[in-house]
Chains A and B, each alone.
Chain A
Amino acid sequence: MAEIELKKVEKQFGDFHAVKPLDLKINDGEFIVLLGPSGCGKTTTLRMISGLETVSGGDILLDERKITWLHPSERDIAFVFQLYALYPHLSVRQNIAFPLQAEGESRDLINKRVDEVVDVLRIRHLLNARPGKLSGGDQQRVALARALVRRPKAFLMDEPLGALDADFRESMRAEIKQLHIDQHATTVYVTHDQIEAMAMGDRIVVMSEAVLQQAGSPEEVYYKPANLFVANFIGSPGMNLINGKISEGKVVMPGIDNRYTIPNDWLDPLHEDLNGSTDLIIGFRPECAHLSTEGDLVGTVYAVDLHGAYTMLHINMNEHDIVHIREDRMVKHALGENVRFNLDKDMVRYFNPKTENAIYRREVVQ
């Protein structure tokens, strides 16, 4: 069992708040991803969980036991570093055996465990090599093997794929996820790559500027972003966000003829949240907009990205906002061409410009 809980955990470096008080509960066996741009505090949070960084306030619990001030080695966790942290003067076998040797385990046990682990990660052929001579991917596998060999309660990974080439990253992603499933171990994974997060995470914790923005499953985070930051950060490209005004049940967006009719069940929640103001931000994902000759909204083609399986159109709505619309096939459009499009009413989201938070309606429980 490895349930990790963070209670008001915060970290300050001098006057700088790297992590503002954070509450998070990580379930046993969960693969949770700490996601955010550089400097948002995700790595610091991970390091605090591991004990490599002290907390300025708050507590960290593992299986309801306070581990906030325990030595990193007493927390029964393994840490995978971005730069692998392999001992350069030791062979791969010695690197993997290191944690067990440090604990004074018997030679038989060490050999047995190393054996098991190299098969899992398919690096048996590298046992006698030195880390310096291996490719990045292989080095990362050795680092994973070293983490694995101790059978810890939880794995903490600090952007382990950050130093690898793009194509490698994809295959390694799958490997790590598979590893996680096989081991049934709780994994806390830090990354700035939202594609990675979406692909691997059971739950994603989005952080920005030392604050937790949203913690939820990939679906939640993608379809129901809690605020503008999440909406923009998740997805490539991020959600289209347009400033508009609400008037007579329609969102009036800048530009000719651009009015979007708001579904009825949204009207009350919106008015309630906006509290008299008429400024509103409307958001929709590229795949939720469809070109149509009878579309409600109008724009001109600004750029066309052909991706083979789909086309990403950049539509200029009013000299101000450029929205992305995704078409499910490869279609060429002339630049400057006028287009009309519709939005999927169920998928449109609304945000309060002042609080930057999403506006929710009461969900119909099914």
Chain B
Amino acid sequence: MSNFREDGPGYPVTEATRVDKVSPESRILGKMRALIVAIIAIVMLIPVFVMIMTSFKARSDIVSVPPTVVFKPSLEGFVFLFTERAVVAKARQADFKAAAETGELNIIERVAFEAGQEVTGPSDYVTRLKNSLIIAGLSTIFSVSLGLFAAYAFSRFDVLGKDDLLFFILSTRMLPAVVVTIPLFLMFRQLNLNDTHIGMVLLYTVFNLSLATWLLKGFIDEIPIEYEEAALVDGYSRWQTFHKIVLPQAVTGIAATTVFCLIFAWNEYAFALMLTSENARTAPPSIATMLGRGGIEWSAIAAGSLGFLIPVVIVVFALRNYLLRGVTFGAVRK
């Protein structure tokens, strides 16, 4: 039994750690930590796995008893997602069967036929996806930018009625969407903003502004004011201080805020459902209401949700280093 207190870990330590962090107990705890997080991540992702599995399942597998983990994958979900279909009339079924056998049908049509349907054209899923990208993307950029400026001002200055203004900003988010939609609908109709991209961008920007401002103010409050004071004394203008000193240190906060605003705008359902129809409709309303031949098309919903989820995951993954980076306090060495 090695005696850590006397002899140490028994190998030369060549990293920057404290003495108590290399003790055997510490190392075991460290390994356990990684294990526990991995387990938690897996458990939390189980529903997502279910979703992924569902998107590849044929109808029968989805409702099988007990639920199956091993199954024959099918592209039914994706086909249902991306295409409009109609039930094949009895009269034409024979022709279709023949075409399938001779290989005339492409894979999409074949899968559709296996469910007894024929393809009549592409669905509007892709358009919806595009709308989502535009509307969510733009509104996030706007809300985070405006929020950043406002947050900085509120954090560093004694604005007249600061607490009240901040509360007002917060309150804009407090009314349940459900009830605000009717006045909004009327307002948009008056301004010809109904079912427009601009209207939705404006709406989401405003809705996210409160979250962005509050979050960013919280982050900026954490940045010590000494750096800016030193810069101001050195002759920098307030604007330069803001963008050379505060911004780099607020990167973690900005990344987190961007992620939250983006997620909200991306997944927003109520407003999108009630204030858009053909032109500017985003994906969430259409995904949730995919009705098929026999009711809810789980595989299509799963496939659609997955496809919808991926852009967000990509953005978050791209930003992960910023999210996890610490604010560098006191690391200003001469």
In the complex, residue of chain A having the shortest beta-carbon distance to the beta carbon of B4: A69
- In the bound complex, do residue B333 and residue A72 qualify as a contact, i.e. CB atoms below 8 Å apart? no
A12-B12, A69-B8, A70-B5 known; A51 vs B334 contact (CB < 8 Å):
no
Contacts of A51 in B (CB 8 A): 18-20
Q: Which of A54-62, A215-223, A347-355 lines the interface with chain B? A: A54-62
Q: Is residue A247 contacting chain B, with contact meaning CB distance below 8 A?
A: no
The residue from B9, B13, B15, B18 contacting A52, defined by CB atoms under 8 A apart: B18
Interface residues of B in 7-35 (CB under 8 A from A): 7-9, 12-23
- In the bound complex, do residue A14 and residue B13 qualify as a contact, i.e. CB atoms below 8 Å apart? no
- In the bound complex, do residue A14 and residue B15 qualify as a contact, i.e. CB atoms below 8 Å apart? yes
Interface magnitude class on chain B? 20 to 34
Give the complex CA separation of A26 and B143 in angstroms: 60
Q: Is residue B6 contacting chain A, with contact meaning CB distance below 8 A?
A: yes
- In the bound complex, do residue A55 and residue B13 qualify as a contact, i.e. CB atoms below 8 Å apart? yes
B214 to chain A, nearest CB (A): 21
- In the bound complex, do residue B12 and residue A71 qualify as a contact, i.e. CB atoms below 8 Å apart? no
Give the complex CA separation of A56 and B11 in angstroms: 8
- In the bound complex, do residue A54 and residue B6 qualify as a contact, i.e. CB atoms below 8 Å apart? no
Interface magnitude class on chain A? 10 to 19
Interface residues of A in 1-55 (CB under 8 A from B): 12-14, 38, 51-55
A66-B6, A70-B5 known; A54 vs B334 contact (CB < 8 Å):
no
The residue from A55, A69, A72 contacting B6, defined by CB atoms under 8 A apart: A69
B27 to chain A, nearest CB (A): 12
In the complex, residue of chain B having the shortest beta-carbon distance to the beta carbon of A75: B19
Q: Is residue B47 contacting chain A, with contact meaning CB distance below 8 A?
A: no
- In the bound complex, do residue B334 and residue A68 qualify as a contact, i.e. CB atoms below 8 Å apart? no
Interface residues of B in 140-169 (CB under 8 A from A): none
Binary CB contact string for chain B from 189 to 207 against chain A (1 if under 8 A, 0 otherwise): 0000000000000000000
Q: Is residue B66 contacting chain A, with contact meaning CB distance below 8 A?
A: no
- In the bound complex, do residue A71 and residue B20 qualify as a contact, i.e. CB atoms below 8 Å apart? yes
A38-B333, A83-B330 known; A54 vs B17 contact (CB < 8 Å):
yes
Binary CB contact string for chain A from 81 to 96 against chain B (1 if under 8 A, 0 otherwise): 0010000000000000
B17, B20, B330: most-surrounded residue (chain A CB, <10 A): B20
Contacts of A66 in B (CB 8 A): 6
- In the bound complex, do residue B8 and residue A68 qualify as a contact, i.e. CB atoms below 8 Å apart? yes
A38-B333, A54-B22, A71-B19 known; A12 vs B14 contact (CB < 8 Å):
yes
A95 to chain B, nearest CB (A): 17
The residue from B4, B14, B16, B19 contacting A72, defined by CB atoms under 8 A apart: B19
Give the complex CA separation of A89 and B6 in angstroms: 37
Q: List 28 A-B contacts (CB under 8 A).
A: A12-B12, A14-B14, A51-B18, A51-B20, A53-B16, A53-B17, A53-B19, A54-B13, A54-B19, A54-B22, A55-B8, A55-B13, A56-B12, A56-B13, A56-B14, A57-B12, A66-B6, A69-B4, A69-B5, A69-B6, A69-B19, A69-B23, A70-B5, A70-B19, A71-B20, A72-B18, A72-B19, A83-B330
Q: A51-B18, A55-B13, A69-B19 provided; 10 other pairs, C-beta below 8 A?
A: A38-B334, A51-B19, A51-B20, A52-B19, A53-B17, A54-B17, A56-B12, A69-B8, A69-B23, A72-B20
Measured CB to CB, the residues of B under 8 A from A are: 4-9, 12-23, 330, 333-334
